[in-house]
Chain A
């Protein structure tokens, strides 16, 4: 039977068109790539305040005792001991220890949870989660009724203060149910850009109202997925489809600190086996010696010219005024300040392995 590919629109599609955004298909969604231009939007985010439409991301609502209903086993981090009104980052693994997706879990009440997942993986993740929850656990895929608007940048708290009473109470990785311009929303403070920032989860039908109210502040600029990718690469955050895949383990992806070895989780045996063997490739971070940027798919070569890995993400970093890249390299080659070359058979450019993140002056925790 032929399958039809449906491209979804977020509730803000009309707003993006009115603002003249360049649109692109991403993860099955019609999304804004850029408005004023990636470098201008970079400045807006790092120096002032940006607003992003992230309504394409998925939200699941799960009710139950985290351990008894099976939710705790689905995520590599411990969920059961999370305080109410906090968020926690983790990954979901398959039995082979490969990453099905990364996610942020919100503890709404003692026995109610919201799991936020990547847009392209909503259907796959919903099937995986449902398959591993105990039979009678209430599960609701709220992805197509929940819009998500991210407000990020050093001035984001000042921008939201007049519209969101109580916003200043939120601590990093905390959230509350707050009124945003009079509309009840979940407002959290996690951030994916390296800057102070908030995520507003609101009903699909009220996203336009909230978007317009926030954009009334002339200090806020609409911002697309293009610069979001640059910002997250500058922070060395993983992105599904790049540093995370079903054939990549969280150890390879450098997510060791998000794996709780003291509890049971799907894929644990495979991860422990890999850890014991200790010969796996690891993710590394490198800076180009020039403005020339590495690109996903480029080969990485060591100083002797031997192919030792592959680039998974690369871009031009306005913060460093140089190309920056993330990639997987053979064990033994991921050494700080070691020379590395990136490119293909025709052209190779010199770079140097470095410490994460590339961008160090963000306002994330201020």
Chain B
């Protein structure tokens, strides 16, 4: 399956299959193509409140598919500045376009050095091959 999984080169990734795209001091966060495929059709998302402070790898979003509910963890510490409200009416955007229209939240990053504990696209690609064996 790894060959078919889309991975964006300049994003960073977690072992729990979240991605973060860092621009200036803001990180846009979502879940990866691998994660959306594993979840199946997303039917509901519980978004965090804007202004919420999150720690790195702390659960801050809950996503439900037809099958089950899953926790989403923040790739870095920060303050939630914006959430993708379009997901409330159309949570399936996560399945259709997980890296663009299906983004989940933006956070103002408080500890930029935390990025070093995340995986690059290449690391993540290798990581996927290990978990699929």
Give the B-binding residues of A (Cβ under 8 A). Answer: 34, 37-39, 226-227, 230, 290-293, 295, 315-316, 323
Contact = CB atoms under 8 A, between A and B. Distances in A.
A293 B41 CA distance: 13
Given A226-B66, A316-B64, A291 B91 contact: yes
A292 B67 contact: no
B40 A226 contact: yes
A315 B66 contact: yes
The DSSP consensus for interface residues of chain A is: mixed
B46 A292 contact: yes
Contacts of B46: 292
Interface string B53-76: 000000000001111110000000
Contact of A37 (B41, B44, B69): B41
A226 B67 contact: yes
B32 interface: no
B66 A295 contact: no
B37 to A, nearest CB: 9
A292 B44 contact: yes
Contacts of B91: 291
A316 B92 CA distance: 13
B68 A39 contact: no
Given A38-B66, A291-B64, A293-B44, 6 more contacts: A37-B41, A38-B67, A226-B67, A293-B64, A295-B69, A323-B44
B40 A38 contact: yes
B128 to A, nearest CB: 16
A342 to B, nearest CB: 12
A295 B69 CA distance: 9
Contacts of A34: 40
B5 to A, nearest CB: 14
A259 B64 CA distance: 38
A316 B67 CA distance: 8
B43 interface: yes
25 contacts: A34-B40, A37-B41, A38-B40, A38-B41, A38-B66, A38-B67, A39-B66, A226-B67, A227-B66, A291-B43, A291-B44, A291-B64, A291-B91, A292-B44, A292-B64, A293-B43, A293-B44, A293-B64, A293-B66, A293-B69, A315-B66, A316-B43, A316-B44, A316-B64, A316-B66
A37 B41 CA distance: 7
Contacts of A316: 43-44, 64, 66
A71 to B, nearest CB: 38
A323 B46 CA distance: 14
A232 to B, nearest CB: 13
Contacts of B40: 34, 37-38, 226
Nearest to B37: A22
B96 to A, nearest CB: 11
